[in-house]
Amino acid sequence: MSFKAVKGTRDFYPEIMRVRNYIFDAWRRVSLRNGFEEFDSPIFEYLELFTAKSGQEIASQLFNFTDRGGRSLAIRPEITPSLARMVNAKINSLARPIKWFSMPRLCRAENPQKGRLREFFQWNVDIIGETSELADAECVFVCIDALRELGLSPGDVALRYSSRALLSAVLKALNTAEDRIPAVTAALDKRNKVPPEAFDAMLKEAAGDERIVAGVAKFAAMEEGCLEASKICQELNIGQTPEIAAACQSLASFRAALDRFGIGQWCRYDAGVVRGLAYYTGIVYEVFDAGQSLRAVAGGGRYDNLLEVLGGPKVTATGFGMGDVVLGILLEEKGKLPPLQAQVDCFVIDAEESAFDAVLGTVSRLRQGGVSAEYSYKRQHIGKQLKEANRRGARKALIVKSAQEAGLKDLVTGDQADMSMDEAVADLLRAFGVAG
């Protein structure tokens, strides 16, 4: 009997793990330098945590089960509800704003395809307890900071943003029935993801009223320069409301903050970006590759009611997630992944059989000093050991002649020098070790 990995999952062989670690290291560096602290949560939670407010799309993608005690549980498809639960548990003792990040493994029962797997990792960055649009803009800055860190530019990706608050206010001004707003919102979310005729059909079915369909279509086509309350209301032939005015002001403040952060060239307004999760309440955004041949690289927005829905006080929050699957494909397609070869600092070689005991002692000294050191398990000719050193990606070869004598060879330049064992070890510790 033979076994394969489950469809929609990945085996991380060392060469693939190096890519994963390269991305993870960039995510962690960017998070820390922007003042965020790392957290994590259990990989499974009570089912209701994810069905309470995430929306039907997430609910339909859950891997859920009943434990031996009859409790309904689910493997986490996202971490934001877990974050809200954790913050609610210590809300009175946490200093605000709360700036946390995480890189969890997530699972969704989706149909696997390019850029979409059933198991994936996602970098999440959130700010909780800050109402200002500066917090939304800072999250966008962190997102773009990571894309720059990984070698991408505005020519490779673009961030498109809009406002769920503005969309909701416009739909209400169009007299959209309350129970139809989620369906209209979901239809608009597909505007940039399906053919135009399919979008038109979805919108008509969701709205159920030609006036609403026409109004939403006009609103979706509006450019950022038209996002003044009076212009929107005039174009859509609706009465101006305080909600529309407030949402427009919020968008203007957000855009100004993006420009002050120096990232305006990465970002543009697009009313078709509404995000699929039901808990978003304000600014929302998604990052796509320039050719839009892939799924979203990242996405996020403001979710001011989620903590309250999950049993806590009304505390504002904003944040984003960036998945490793699409990002990895994009970096590979754009040629942004550097050579990620397995590499050790030093390969220790015995010049003759009598020196083997000294090899093990030297390897131990180097490793304890912070130098990654390897050696050959089998006694073999020095030439074969050097070949193995090159195959393992070693940068230096320490050739042990005796417990007191050695040769140090640079496997990049080919330079070699004889010296005492203590001198050779000291050189390696300076170059690669804790003291280096």
- Per run of 10 residues, the mean pLDDT along the chain (length 436 residues) is 93 96 98 98 96 72 94 95 96 96 97 94 98 98 98 96 93 89 86 83 86 86 80 85 93 96 96 83 95 92 93 95 97 94 92 88 95 93 94 95 93 94 95 72
Terminal CA-CA length for the chain = 51
14-333 — its CATH code? Answer: 3.30.930.10
Task: Give the C-alpha separation, 287 to 285, whole Å.
Answer: 7
DSSP-derived letter for residue 129 is S
Q: Quick one: pLDDT at residue 200?
A: 84
Indicate the pTM of the whole model: 0.90
Q: Where exactly are the structural domains of the chain?
A: 14-333, 346-432
- How is residue 315 written in tokens? 């505390």
Buried b (16+ CB within 10 A) or exposed e, 80-99: bbbbbbbbbeebeebeebbb
Q: Quick one: pLDDT at residue 324?
A: 98
Residues 6+ positions from 224 with CB-CB distance below 8 Å: 255, 268, 269
Q: Quick one: pLDDT at residue 436?
A: 47
Cβ contact 392:376 at 8 Å: no
Name the nearest CA neighbour of 116 among 6, 8, 1: 8
Q: Quick one: pLDDT at residue 285?
A: 97
Q: Quick one: pLDDT at residue 56?
A: 64
What single-letter amino acid sits at 332? E
3-state secondary structure of 382: helix
Q: Quick one: pLDDT at residue 22?
A: 97
Residue 373: how many other CB atoms lie within 10 Å: 24
346-432 — its CATH code? Answer: 3.40.50.800
| Residues present in the chain in total | 436
Name the nearest CA neighbour of 170 among 80, 113, 115, 246: 246
